[in-house]
């Protein structure tokens, strides 16, 4: 039996590309880009325009969203796209696709990872751990929505979506879960240097 998600997986009031990410990406010279949580591919399209046909664009999201994103990039003339879809089964996520990428291609195969998916510890602590392996020394990890919480989410707060209380405790609903990943796992890691506060971290090249 397939247990499909019947709840809003994150805020989807995203309008337009994440300009900070696209602008910062353009300064890095990165060529191998991964976006974890793509939605309508607004940011991915901005990144593709920066790359101008060079490099690789790896897209991770639900299969319907990845298919639409790949089609949008193809229509815009960008063929350097790799799809990493996952199902909407309750415990499926981009973490399985990330695992497969690590299994098939090994470490250090990406220059830039934009983590903009579920924004929860349950998904994104593991996503960070795998992305860290996939990221080459000198590469960048970019986190969206440092201050986000389920409590303040327009679509997932308990008033808008009472079932959230079946999925998360009050503590988890109140917590800024992207911030927990950044504060507890990334910032204290001496292998990373904070470049854009609360957002972009560079993996140091070993001396």
Ligand X SMILES: C[S@@+](CC[C@H](N)C(=O)[O-])C[C@H]1O[C@@H](n2cnc3c(N)ncnc32)[C@H](O)[C@@H]1O
Q: Tell me whether residue 161 or residue 191 sits nearer to ligand X (CB atom).
A: 161
Q: Which of 25, 39, 128, 168 binds ligand X (CB under 6 A)?
A: 39
Q: Which residues have C-beta within 8 Å of that of residue 172, sequence separation ≥ 6?
A: 120, 121, 150
Q: Is 33 in the site for ligand X (CB under 6 A)?
A: no
Cα–Cα separations (whole angstroms), residue 104 to 113, 140, 142: 18, 21, 23
CA–CA separation, 4 vs 207, rounded Å?
A: 47
Beta bridge partners of 67: none
Residue pair 86/98 in contact (Cβ under 8 Å)? The answer is no
Query: Is the CB of 61 or the CB of 132 nearer to ligand X?
Result: 61
Segment lying near ligand X (by CB under 6 A), choices 31-39, 104-112, 132-140, 159-167: 31-39
Which residue bears the tokens 């911030």?
A: 179
Site for ligand X in 54-83 (CB under 6 A): 61-62, 65
**Are the C-beta atoms of 54 and 80 separated by less than 8 Å?**
yes
Q: Does 10 bind ligand X (CB under 6 A)?
A: yes
| Residue 132 near ligand X by CB under 6 A | no
Residue 155, judged by CB atoms within 10 A of its CB (0-12, 13-18, 19+), counts as middle
Contact status: 149 vs ligand X (CB under 6 A):
no
> Is 24 a binder of ligand X (CB under 6 A)?
no
Stretch that binds ligand X, among 112-120, 131-139, 163-171, 181-189 (CB under 6 A): 112-120
Cβ closest to ligand X, residue 18 vs residue 172: 18
Q: Which residues bind ligand X (CB under 6 A)?
A: 9-10, 14, 18, 35, 37-39, 42-43, 61-62, 65, 86, 93-94, 116-118, 123
């Amino acid at each position: 039996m397939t247990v499909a998600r019947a709840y809003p997986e994150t805020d989807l009031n995203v309008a337009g590309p994440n300009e900070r990410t696209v602008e910062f990406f353009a300064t890095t010279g990165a060529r191998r880009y991964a976006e974890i949580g793509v939605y309508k591919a607004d940011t991915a399209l901005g990144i593709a325009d920066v790359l101008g046909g060079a490099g690789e664009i790896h897209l991770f999201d639900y299969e319907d969203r990845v298919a639409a994103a790949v089609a949008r990039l193809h229509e815009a003339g960008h063929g350097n796209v790799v799809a990493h879809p996952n199902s909407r089964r309750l415990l499926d996520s981009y973490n399985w696709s990330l695992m497969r990428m690590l299994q098939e291609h090994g470490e250090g195969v990406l220059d830039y990872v934009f983590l903009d998916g579920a924004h929860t510890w349950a998904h994104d602590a593991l996503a960070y751990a795998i992305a860290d392996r996939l990221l080459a020394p000198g590469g960048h990890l970019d986190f969206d929505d440092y201050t986000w919480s389920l409590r303040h989410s327009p679509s997932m707060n308990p008033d808008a979506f009472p079932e959230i209380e079946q999925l998360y405790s009050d503590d988890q609903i109140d917590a800024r879960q992207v911030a927990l990943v950044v504060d507890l796992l990334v910032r204290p890691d001496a292998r990373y240097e904070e470049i854009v506060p609360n957002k972009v971290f560079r993996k140091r090249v070993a001396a």
